[in-house]
Amino acid sequence: MQTIAFVLFDDAEELDFVGPWEVLAYLARTEPETCRVLTVSQRGGIVRCAKGLRVVADHSFADCPPFEIMLVPGGIGTRTEVDNPVLIAFLRERGQRCTLVTSVCTGAFLIERAGLLTPRDGQPRRATTHWASLERLRALGTVETINERFVDEGNVITAAGVSAGIDMALYLVGRVWGEETARRVQQGIEYFPAPPFAPVTR
């Protein structure tokens, strides 16, 4: 049984965590021996997200139980939270105990600040983030920035922007509980993207 914590903060991007939550909570509900999911924020209680959605975190940092997997969303709130010493200390302390740390979108900046993307053997670790923030992440000089939907670096997985978190979460399920389990979850949430429009050329 793995416990998965979603670390929330004001102005977090909704789909960054709600997409992966759907994947992992569906797994927890349909195959309860696999995992349980919870949300945590600095003070617990109501969190106001980037687009106005309000959610209620299950735990505060002070009363959060142990967990093995951590997910850190992005959003405009990361611009200020990256300088929040309480949040960064929580991510650092808990992240170092985790078997797996994940981020979505600009959540990569939070785990980078927490020291969870430090180079290994003198080599920068690979990471990704929202396409519009790739250069800003690269400019930190601490990671090798990759423009992919998600990047697996062993005990850290980073995902690109917003909807990429769903892909990352399904990959996580496959990695931890096996491909067939991930396929059952993907079927259950009917996630077979076929967007009506081609991407805008950047």
Specify the pLDDT at position 200: 85
- Taking the C-alpha atoms of residue 154 and residue 165, their distance in angstroms, rounded to an integer, is 17
- Taking the C-alpha atoms of residue 40 and residue 122, their distance in angstroms, rounded to an integer, is 33
**pTM (2 d.p.):** 0.96
Burial of 35 (0-12, 13-18, 19+ CB in 10 A): buried
> Which residues form the catalytic set?
105
Whether 151 is covered by a domain: the verdict is yes
Judge whether residue 202 has pLDDT over 80.
no
- Taking the C-alpha atoms of residue 173 and residue 136, their distance in angstroms, rounded to an integer, is 30
* Sign (positive or negative) of CA dihedral 80, 83, 87, 92: positive
Whether 92 is covered by a domain: the verdict is yes
Reported as a single tens digit per residue, the pLDDT across 82-113 is: 999 999 999 999 999 999 999 999 999 999 99
Quick check: 125 and 144 in contact, CB under 8 A?
yes
Reported as a single tens digit per residue, the pLDDT across 23-47 is: 999 999 999 999 999 999 999 999 9
- Picking from 63-72, 169-178, 193-202, which range would have the lowest pLDDT averaged per residue? 193-202
User: Per the structure, how many domains does the chain have?
Assistant: 1
Interval 129-144 mean pLDDT: 96
Whether 128 is covered by a domain: the verdict is yes
Q: Count CB atoms within 10 A of the CB of residue 34.
A: 18
Reported as a single tens digit per residue, the pLDDT across 167-184 is: 999 999 999 999 999 999
Whether 202 is covered by a domain: the verdict is no
Beta bridge pairs of residue 35: 2
pLDDT band (50, 70, 90) for residue 199: confident
Whether 201 is covered by a domain: the verdict is no
- DSSP one-letter string for 34-87: TEEEEEEESS-EEEE-TTS-EEEESEETTTPPP-SEEEE--STTHHHHTT-HHH
Whether 7 is covered by a domain: the verdict is yes
Judge whether residue 198 has pLDDT over 70.
yes
Interval 151-172 mean pLDDT: 97
Whether 194 is covered by a domain: the verdict is no
pLDDT band (50, 70, 90) for residue 122: confident
Whether 95 is covered by a domain: the verdict is yes
**How far from 193 is each of 173, 187, 197, CA to CA, in Å?**
18, 12, 11
Q: Which domain holds residue 150?
A: 2-188
Domain CATH code at residue 114: 3.40.50.880
